[in-house]
Structure 1
Amino acid sequence: MEEIQEVRHQIETPHGYIVARDYPGQGTPFVFLHGFPDDSAVYEKLIREVQPRRSVSFDFPGYGLSERTGETSVADGQRLAETEAVIDGLGLEKIVLVGHDAGGPVAIQYALAHPDRVERLVLLNCYFGESPTLKFPEMIRLLGDPNLAPLADALISDPGQRQWLLEFTATKFGYPATEDLREQIIIPVFYGGAGKPDALAAVRGWTARLLRDVATTSELVASGKTQDLHVPVDVIFGKQDPYLNTGVAEHLASIFPNSRLRLVEARHWLQWDAPGPVAQMLLDTE
């Protein structure tokens, strides 16, 4: 596969440096935010499809090419501050902000804080607050429950138990053992590979915030702040996701006054499963 041009930037933050990949091109740049079971590599197929549009992806500290600090917690507002550091560090005045999975709430919080800098907000199989059909994968619920932290830590620290949890979760998501997503994206996060250490500390730190973050974002929805956001919002969901499902997509679309909902024949990682159709929707501003 032909390489596409990229420029790598290192942005310093209080929680470790961030490596951002800047793919030169025309138009308002896309900025892609990943979630906690993967890293920015999950957007590589999609970035190819939107060329020659400028795109930026980056790894939150502890993931991908960014610094491993060993921190096992994520502070209030940390992910938002890190996103601000990248956007400001690259001098991006106006962006199309794209968030997937746990990156979705971060994208929404950035848009609420900086609506003048977001041309459009795109949400891919993510969540924001409670919704009637929202379910988290069993493994993520285990990692996110503070009462089960000793059990979660014991299981995740054992390579064999970790593998069992990943296999169970992959099967529930509908990704069989032959899927390249698992080998190229998920396994390196949990086991390391290709010269990168694992991101276990980062995964544990972010998932430990899950219940608090759901409660915080539920309060934002209840306050009406999302209804005051008049930035165009595209909710694009893979409709074969059993957890962050079409009901969650409908809920997300309902909390913004200027939204549209579109569904794709894909699973949770729709940017990997169906990069062509998702790219068309990203580029479609009508």
Structure 2
Amino acid sequence: MTNTINKPFNATPAYLEHHIDRGQGSIYVRDYEGSEPAFVLMHGFPDNLHIYDDLIPHLVAGGRRVVAFDFLGFGYSDKQTGARYSYEQQLSDLHAVVEHLGLDKIVPVAHDASGPAGINYAIDYPEHVASVCLLNCAYGVAPTKKTPEIIGLFAHTDLKSYTQALLQSPEQFEWALKFQMSKFLEHMKDDSQIQYLANFLGPIIETNFTKHPTSTPAFVQMTSQLFEEVTRNTKRLPEMEALDIPFKLIWGDHDPYLNTGVAEDFHARLKNSSLHVLPAGHWLQIDIPEQVAAIMLSNE
């Protein structure tokens, strides 16, 4: 199903909506007109496509086609009872978007936990990838990478009885989410960025976990597979290193978890990459969207 949404000038540009059937529900997609290769924007664990709301107008103003979508189980995409979520499913979601929209070559833009989808898509479908853009994301092992506390809690499956009990108490789970956000915010330097991020991102994450049906099953299933996925991706590092596709690494340097050391490790491993470290936190596309867009649109 496809329809057009028009928004006021200076708000989000006009886009087409798509709902792509994945067998256990449909993916929600927004497609903004422009020249190709299209930027295909992907989100991480606790959020959804809205993390790109401030970035997209700059990319569209630069004349480029932009596609943003919610992985199954998150945001506006379906969250069917009994649905199974995995990193392989997210990679397939990306492939389904490319096929449904008839895109030839794309620029996967990966943030946070969508790093595996973006990088593995480049490995598996290099003929469809013009370049790759990585924003404070993870893939395999990296010497300085740290796991956020709430992610580590749910990733340790031997703590399942504890995390299941936590989920039975909305107040305690909300406290855990707010604690994690505070850990990201305390490493940021710019007070205006801190305030804006808290006001912008807080409702996005809250809606993901409080509006029914919620993203909680997808979050729980994805985090429980994290360590196995890191192991699988570490084995694929030689395939990543062999890619001759250009990579842009755009990194907020105030991220205590997926820190600049992670970006430097990517840069050292990749055959064809540029590294851009910016004064921002983990969600740099929210903190400094104009600067991020300028690098994405550049010919470097």
TM bin (shorter chain): over 0.9
Question: What does 1:1-286 correspond to in 2, within 5 Å?
Answer: 1-51=10-60, 52-71=63-82, 73-75=84-86, 77-174=88-185, 179-192=198-211, 197-221=213-237, 224-286=238-300
Deviation at 1:27? 3.2
Q: Which runs of 5+ in 1 are unaligned?
A: none
Q: Which runs of 5+ in 2 are unaligned?
A: 1-9, 187-193
Worse-matched range after superposition: 248-257 or 65-74 = 65-74
In 1, the alpha carbon distance for the partners of 2:42 and 2:149 equals 23
Query: Does the aligned pair in 2 maintain the 1:71–1:205 contact within 8 Å?
Result: no
Q: Residue by residue, what CA displacement relative to the aligned partner does 1:25-60 show, whole Å, maximum 9, x if unpaired?
A: 123211011111101111111111111321001011
Q: Number of matched residues?
A: 281
Q: Residue by residue, what CA displacement relative to the aligned partner does 1:199-221 show, whole Å, maximum 9, x if unpaired?
A: 11111111111111111111111
Deviation at 1:182? 3.1
In 2, the alpha carbon distance for the partners of 1:33 and 1:242 equals 21
Worse-matched range after superposition: 151-160 or 264-273 = 151-160
In 2, the alpha carbon distance for the partners of 1:23 and 1:273 equals 22
In 2, the alpha carbon distance for the partners of 1:40 and 1:17 equals 15
Partner SS state of residue 282, structure 2: coil
TM-score scaled by length of structure 2: 0.89
Query: Does the aligned pair in 1 maintain the 2:51–2:201 contact within 8 Å?
Result: no
Percent of paired sites with the same residue: 38
Note the aligned Cα RMSD (angstroms).
1.6
